[in-house]
Amino acid sequence: MTGRFGSIVNGGDGNLDSIFNDWDKVQSADDFGTPLPAGKYVCVWKKGELTTSKKGTVSYKLTLEVETGDHAGRKVWNDIWLTPASRHIAKRDLEKLGITNPREQLSQPIPKWLRLQVQVGLQADDSGVERNSVLNFKVLEKFEPEADPFAPQAEEPTTPAADLFAPESEG
């Protein structure tokens, strides 16, 4: 790669015309470069996956999305560490989510549609960079999501139509 902006846009032909058309009318995306302020948030559990840290520690990572308020749509993550030393904490947190058999359930899709109250804190690393940390959470309710108006509709069972060309039976 040459590192030129034009060489990576539009398949590398350098044609920027369509990207910069009506540039003054494009709304800039929100900058989520700052962590959420510390506090309690109502979140929906969006994703759960087994992951490994840079140091090789296995965790079950929760992706939680803030549902209401000024920070609606923002995400916060929580690692449930799966180590011998943290087994009692992992069991507590997984049970809150309805995961009672982690050997089988952690590789399956999440038990969807849980609304949680999440206590979020701030932690600073050695260089002073702040990051969110989930201090605790509790399940508020299991709920049914609103129907997606664009989801495919289930076909209703149909009964076979009468054959208009079949001879009438007598009797």
pLDDT tens-digit profile of 42-73? 999 999 999 999 999 999 999 999 999 999 99
pLDDT band for position 25 (cuts 50, 70, 90): confident
Q: Per the domain annotation, does 169 fall within a domain?
A: no
Q: Which of 171, 74, 54, 60 is nearest to 118 (CA)?
A: 74
Q: Per the domain annotation, does 157 fall within a domain?
A: no
Is the pLDDT at 5 greater than 70? The verdict is: no
Q: Per the domain annotation, does 171 fall within a domain?
A: no
Helix, strand, or coil (residue 151):
coil
Number of domains in the chain: 1
Helix, strand, or coil (residue 156):
coil
pLDDT band for position 1 (cuts 50, 70, 90): very low
Q: Which of 10, 82, 76 is nearest to 50 (CA)?
A: 82
Residues 6+ away with beta carbon under 8 Å from 79: 51, 53, 59, 60, 61, 62
The CATH number linked to 118 is 2.40.50.140
Q: Per the domain annotation, does 24 fall within a domain?
A: no
pTM flag (> 0.75): no
Q: How many residues does the chain have?
A: 171
Q: Among all chains, which residue has been given the structure tokens 């060489």?
A: 7
pLDDT digits (tens, 9 = 90+) for 112-163: 789 999 999 999 999 999 999 999 999 999 998 777 788 787 776 555 555 5
Structural domain boundaries enclosing 37: 33-142
Q: Per the domain annotation, does 80 fall within a domain?
A: yes
